[in-house]
Amino acid sequence: MDLKNKAVLLTGASSGIGYSLAHHLAKEGCKLALIARRQNLLNKLSGDISSDNLVTFQCDVGKREQVNEIFGKVRDHFGKIDIAILNAGVSGRTALKSYNGNQAKEIFDTNSLSIVYAIEQLLPDFMERKDGMIVGISSLADVRGFPKSGFYNASKAAATILLESLRIELKPFNVKVITVKPGFVRTPMTDKNEFHMPFMIDVDNASEIILAGIKNEKRVIEFPLPTVLATKLIKILPNFLFDKLAGRKLPDRKDKVITG
């Protein structure tokens, strides 16, 4: 796929993978609608990118009414949306002593429901035109439920399964759905993690892999290879063995939601 002059909407654009992707997409000649919660970082990003076809919008994608408004503005600005890259995400660690629904809601709103809200806005036009692409950023952490990461793992599993279902349903309408499942990528969000992150890769390397997968219209983009292979092994482990390995004592850290 040639990305030149494609109208691309990118959420979570102000930092991490989104920030890097924005630069790569600009170099491809895309028309860019960059969306994030923090306007000051969006201003910096738009100043860093030399493009006449760039617009930014402040939006909390976990809030349906904001998504409805901003996606409408993007369509009005460019006439249509060709590709939506749904990249916004948060991480989080949860301790049993402070297990609570508010933290779960915050993580699911951003990692899972934001994708639903976006697709709700995209589908009518995509299906009518019989054209369009949805790229959802999930994670290799969707594979199983790890201690102290249940909310995050579950939110990414929900995203993966939702995107997979839509990929099949939208095929007759010529709408492509791509699921991106990164392992550990060095970003401001992972810099806040307090645990070992094996096989971590640079954010620009991650963006190049994602961009290549989009151009080739891959169904699933998984990386890096060592982590992909490890998660496939973890997925087929018998429950008793997974419980034993995953249940090794972890440091009792305070629960928190981690944003970029």
Positions annotated as catalytic residues are 152
List CB contacts of 131: < 8 A, sequence separation 6 or more. Answer: 82, 174, 175
In 37-146, at which residue ranges do the beta strands (DSSP E only) sit? 54-58, 83-86, 91-93, 133-137
What 3-state class would DSSP assign to 51? coil
d(CA 149, CA 257): 11
In the chain, at which residue ranges do the beta strands (DSSP E only) sit? 7-11, 31-36, 54-58, 83-86, 91-93, 133-137, 176-182, 185-186, 201-202, 220-223, 256-258
User: CB of 243 within 8 A of CB of 174?
Assistant: no
CA nearest to 30, candidates 48, 47, 55: 55
Cis peptide bond upstream of 224, omega within 30: yes
In 88-149, at which residue ranges do the beta strands (DSSP E only) sit? 91-93, 133-137
Q: DSSP label at 36? A: E
List CB contacts of 167: < 8 A, sequence separation 6 or more. Answer: 176, 177, 178, 179, 219
User: CB of 198 within 8 A of CB of 216?
Assistant: no
User: CB of 148 within 8 A of CB of 250?
Assistant: yes
